[in-house]
Structure 1
Amino acid sequence: MALTALALCTRALLKIGAAPITSLEDGTAEAEVAASLYAGARDALLSCHPWSFATGQMALGRLEAVPLSGFANAFQLPADLLRAVSVAPRAAFRIQEGRLLTDASEATLTYVFRPAEAEWPPSFATALVARLSAEFCMPLTESASRAEALYQLAEAELRGAKLADGQGQTPRAITHFPLLDVRG
């Protein structure tokens, strides 16, 4: 089954014993809960970690207007930004009013964006389904204890997805550590 919002929501509903849905707009209680909670849960999970499949870089365009907040320059943020990870060259920055503010004269932003569901690795999809089942549990089953158990399972799935994501890249080496320098 292709990864879609509908497929992911249906998997989460089945995990809590609810009826599957055929559309996010089919008028059932399950569809209404799924439609209301899916986007927020998806974006929260994407934003909580710099996932390799959802992290990109972009050279930002400088805006003409000078910011009033003490920074020298303002840059236009990408439309698909969920979370800023870093700015190069390394400089202090702030995101405010939909702009990146910094003293640097140019800026390349590393950021988390929202990729299509079909591009997600299985570990992330499984973590999202676990999170959705926890989110859907209270409104559909009214069982607080079951919802709490599902949240704990969702956290374990998230840890596993983060671990799998981190193993797909070379670990960052510590290039300079002042405490080692003083030991001579």
Structure 2
Amino acid sequence: MTNPVEICSNALMILGAKPIASFNEAEGMGSNLDRAKLASNLYPQVRKAILRGHYWNCTARRVLLSPDSAAPAFGYANRFMLPGDWLRTWAVGDERNRQRVAYRTEGRYLLSDEVVMPLLYGADTSEEQWDPLLVDVMTAAMAARMAYPITASTSVEEMRQGELQALLREARAVDGMDDPPETLGDFPLLRSRVLG
């Protein structure tokens, strides 16, 4: 099973550094860099950035939110608390009905005049639930982020950033292939152009 330590350990090995067995691992004498501490400090932020940066199918969740007991002071009739594992809103409303839902995100709440809020969001899921390509992206992201502190080389850092960007493009494309293609829908103007 994939876990944060394994991801960071693999990223360190990619950089030619010794792997770690835990985030609490003590560094040997004479070392001026604590690899385990570096990895544990950087990992949470890099992880959230990668998860928020793309609609990963393996992190998508759907919920129906009910209004909170306290309404906003003005502007909207209701507020809805976002789920505890929420990282990014992907869609609000039911896309099958193509109804636009007016809403605003403020802090950990969605504000709207709706009485029930259908929400599709990116969840803060555990690494065990990730697609293998997402694990590869996260490993590459950690290698890129730790490249300069580990190697003191800007060229290695630039190379790892380039590899991360290429892997991100590939992973996003493959992840997107799991869904049916988007269509332009049944729009009268489009239909008249096709038939005309």
TM range (shorter): over 0.9
Larger radius of gyration: 2
Gaps of 5+ in 1: none
Deviations 1:3-25 (CA, angstroms, capped at 9, x unpaired): 11111100000001111111111
Separation in structure 2 between the aligned mates of residue 167 and residue 181 of structure 1, nearest angstrom: 27
Quick check: 1:180 aligned with 2:179? no
| One of 92, 116, 124 as aligned partner of 2:102 | 92
Q: Work out the CA distance in 1 between the residues paired with 2:18 and 2:84.
A: 36
| Aligned-pair CA distance for 1:182 | 5.8
1:142 aligns with 2:170: no
User: 3-state DSSP class of the match of 2:66?
Assistant: coil
- For the residue of structure 1 that corresponds to 2:121, the secondary structure is strand
Distance 2:93 2:40 in 1: 38
SS at match of 1:95: strand
Larger deviation, residues 94-103 vs 169-178: 169-178
Per-residue CA shift, 1:116-155, capped at 9, x if unaligned? Answer: 2111111111111111100011122221221111011001
Q: Distance in 2 between matches of 1:177 and 1:162?
A: 29
For 1:69 and 1:163, locate their aligned partners in 2 and report how far apart those are by CA, in whole Å.
Answer: 42
Distance in 2, matches of 1:122 and 1:100, equals: 32
CA distance in 1, matches of 2:74, 2:16: 52
User: Which segments of 5 or more consecutive residues in structure 2 lack a partner in the other structure?
Assistant: 28-33, 95-99
- Give the share of equivalent positions with the same residue, in percent: 33
Partner of 2:141: 131
Paired residue total: 183
Matched, 1:121 2:131: yes
Q: CA deviation at 1:177?
A: 4.5
Matched, 1:171 2:181: yes
Mapped partners of 2:182, 2:124: distance in 1: 25
**CA RMSD, aligned part only?**
1.5
Structure 2 distance, partners of 1:57, 1:34, is 32
The runs of at least 4 aligned residues of structure 1 exceeding 4 Å deviation read none
Q: What is the CA deviation profile of residues 30-80 of structure 1, one whole-angstrom value per residue up to 9, with x for unaligned ones?
A: 101100111111111111111111001011121122213512210111000
Matches within 5 A, 1:2-13: 2-13=1-12
TM-score for the superposition, normalised by structure 2: 0.87
Q: What's the TM-score once normalised by structure 1's chain length?
A: 0.93
